[in-house]
Every structure is written in C-alpha cells, then in structure tokens.
Amino acid sequence: MISPARAESMQETGTANTIVPTDLPTISIELADADPLESVTPIETKTEFLKRLPSHRAVDLGKLTDVTLFEAERSHFSSTNQEWIVAAEQIPKLDAVPPSRPSDRPLSKSSPTPVQSSELPVAPGLTIATDPSSPTPPPVFTCPTPDPELGCLRLQNPIFPTAPPPILYLIPRIDFFRSNNLLLGIDPINDGLIRPTLTLLAVPPLGPDTYILASVEGAFNRYFEVPVFNYDELRIRAGLLQRLSPSMTAEIGWTNQQLFIASNEIRGFPYGRRFLNDQAVRFELSRRDQLNDRLFLNSIYQFRVGFSEPEDRSRILNVLFLSLNYDLNPSRTIQLGVDYQFSAANYTFVRRTDIYQQLLGRITFSAFRNSQLSVYSGISFGDSTERGIDFNSFVLGVSVSVNIVLF
C-alpha cells in the first residue's frame, strides 16, 4: 500500500510493504534516508500519471489481513466441537436404587465390608463394595436418609450449555508507517502513510469444523508529502474455511478489491475515479505450532490467481508467511515476534516477474482483551523484471486495532 500506482500491485493484501503475523494486526512502516521530495516530477496530466504508474506497481507487499484473523476470531477454529459441558463428568452414572430399610438388609459377617477404591472416582453418597472375584469393584449407591415417599434419588449434576461463539465482528484499525522508499521506485521517496480501516467480519459456522468467512472492508490511504497519490479502497471477501486439525486450517475463497483516486490533482482522473478492479480466487493453508508454553510459530501459504482491470495487473501470486512469537508474561499481554514474508508474482498479460521479501521485528501489547498495539521495524528487499522498481527499503510502523463482538 503505497500509492495508487503501487496499490494496484497490492491487490490481495491491505497495506503495502508490510507483513503481519497471523493473529496480530500489525503494520509496517519504512524510515527515511533518500532523495528529497523536490526531486519528484510533478504530475499534471492523465498521460503522465499513467506513464508513471507501471514503475510503482510492485508485487503484493501488503499484509495478509484478509486471510488472517485476530486471536478472538481464531477462537472459533482452535476450540474443539461445541458441546454440552457436564459438571463432574468423572462421576459414574448410576440409576436410582429403591429405598432400603435396616430390616431389609440384615448384616452378617459374610457381607462385604464397604470400602473406597482408588480405581474409581468417588462422589458424596457413593461407596464401593469389594468383591474378591471382580478386578474392578462394582459401585453401590447408598442412601443413609431416604425420603419416606420417594425413596433414594440419584441426582445428576446439572448440565449447562456453552455460550455460542460470536459470529459477527466490527474491527476498526489505524495503521501508520514510514519508509525511505515509499513508492518502491529507483528514485526513492521518503514519506509516511496513514491508513484508517473499518472491517465488518462474519464467521457463521456450517458445522463443528467448517465456517463461512465473509467480510467488507473500507480504507482511506493518505500520504503526508505526496497527496497526489492518495487513494481509497474497498475490499469484499467470501470464503469457506475448514479446520483440518486443532492446529491447521484450509480456506478457499474469492476476493474483490477496488481502488479509487482520492485527490483532484491529476487531470483526467477526478476524485472518486476507480483505477483498479481486481477479482481473485485463492487457496490458503494456515498452521499454528506451539513450541513450548510461550513460544509458537504461525505459518501461512497462499496461492492466488487474480483477474484485473486493467488487464496488465492480472497475476498469479504465491506467498509464504512465517511468524515466530514469544509471550513475555504468563498473561500474554506482551509479545515479541519475528515475521518473514516471501512473495512471488507472475503477471499473466505482461512479461513481468516480481520476487519480494520482508523481515520484521515486532512487539505487541494487548492490555485489553479485544485491542492490540503493535510496533515493528525491518527491511524489505527483492527483484523485479520491470524497470524502475526497487524493493530495497527500511520499514517502521505502528498499528492499533480493536476487535468488537457484535453478536
């Protein structure tokens, strides 16, 4: 997410030049050490704008926010089947025994002596009678004070239903990042970008391990020094997610991304003019490996085929994302992370191939249950067959997000 130009290549992910851990809404920002902004040639005509666009349409550098969920959302897929919870489920289930009176049960020296066995859990009112011929003594229900009319009743512990998981979320987020090569061009531009975003996400279950994922997201992308490249973004996503194991999920889905001019400084491109419409189908595998009590690894592989207007933005994308995270305290409110992303883009209507990589260090604060603050920094690098593109940059960013459960 860098300029309308660069944004066209970031069709599948939200912010440019950044990667994000699978369960943390982070962003990336890039620092400055580049040519002054005065060296940027002013854009006054539509022709000049279109001519400049191809040099800044880089590979999909954005974060995987549209294919990753916050920790609260992932609770849908990390828990086992939603079932009834039975309190004290270790207690054997026994039928009611008719009332017994002392006269009905004469005691003799041959009667087994009631004792408790360590092989079976024992509840109040439950004793175990020994039997030499039985390896596991049968449970015997005793009733010292039976009801005169109803006798002895064996009462089951109450059964309580679990609260159903939420299915609709509202996720406001604001990202800020800075780079010494914001547009990824051979003439670096040192600038910053602010990106407020609002996402409505629905995760209705189809079964114990199958979910529908549907979301609508709107974002405003505003540059500090080059407002001519300001743009707005609309993203619609729908997919089907299947939990393959407690730590692994697969998803197949469709995404539509549209980008709109958000300035009146370009002739031929009025405010609100759409300059990209991308339709994409994707397949994704996600996995979470708990290495020890506080250390875990998130990994994502995504294969994506996009069909765009204009056609020269259509491409096939392979993305590998790895995020190693360590919780600094038992409450998991402070987390350190190292994130790596590899992206390979092959354009289908033009001769162009992009290889992009990014490495970030990150610290995330989760002081409140549904909010996160992430600060990160790192580098990006890569290569492209397209002239005028330079992926080398330094990144610095801050992200704040809130996960609001609607119902």
At 337-386, the pLDDT tens digits run 999 999 999 999 999 999 999 999 999 999 787 899 999 999 999 999 99
Closest CA to 195 of 226, 231, 171: 231
pLDDT at residue 205 in the model: 95
DSSP 46: H
Residue with the larger pLDDT of the pair 128 and 361:
361
Mean pLDDT estimate for the chain: 74
Q: How many domains does the chain have?
A: 1
CA 44 to chain centre: 41
At 282-310, the pLDDT tens digits run 999 999 999 999 999 999 999 999 999 99
User: Mean pLDDT, to the nearest integer, of 52-62?
Assistant: 40
Residue with the larger pLDDT of the pair 336 and 25:
336
pLDDT at residue 96 in the model: 39
Residue with the larger pLDDT of the pair 300 and 17:
300
Omega within 30 of 0 (cis) for the link into 132: no
Q: Flag the least confident range among 10-14, 39-43, 350-354, 396-400.
A: 10-14
Q: Do residues 283 and 259 touch, judged by C-beta distance below 8 A?
A: no
Q: Is residue 116 part of a domain?
A: no
pTM: 0.66
Q: Do residues 59 and 354 touch, judged by C-beta distance below 8 A?
A: yes
What's the CA gap between 284 and 320, in Å, rounded? 10
Q: Flag the least confident range among 127-136, 175-184, 211-220, 242-251.
A: 127-136
For residue 146, what pLDDT band results from cuts at 50, 70 and 90?
A: low
Q: What share of the chain is helix, strand, coil (3-state, %, to 5)?
A: 10, 45, 45
Domain housing 308: 4-79+169-405
Q: Is residue 143 part of a domain?
A: no
At 64-116, the pLDDT tens digits run 333 334 443 444 443 333 322 222 233 333 333 444 444 444 444 444 444 44
Report the percent of the chain where pLDDT is more than 90: 52
Specify the CATH number for the domain of residue 221: 2.40.128.130
CA angle 260–34–25, rounded 5-degree value? 50
Q: Is residue 98 part of a domain?
A: no
Q: Is residue 96 part of a domain?
A: no
User: Mean pLDDT, to the nearest integer, of 384-392?
Assistant: 92
Report the percent of the chain where pLDDT is more than 70: 61
Q: Is residue 102 part of a domain?
A: no
The two most distant CA atoms of the chain are separated, in Å, by 109
For residue 165, what pLDDT band results from cuts at 50, 70 and 90?
A: confident
Residue for token pair 């660069």: 6
What's the CA gap between 355 and 344, in Å, rounded? 5
Q: Is residue 150 part of a domain?
A: no
Q: Flag the least confident range among 36-40, 82-86, 152-156, 223-227.
A: 82-86
pLDDT at residue 265 in the model: 84
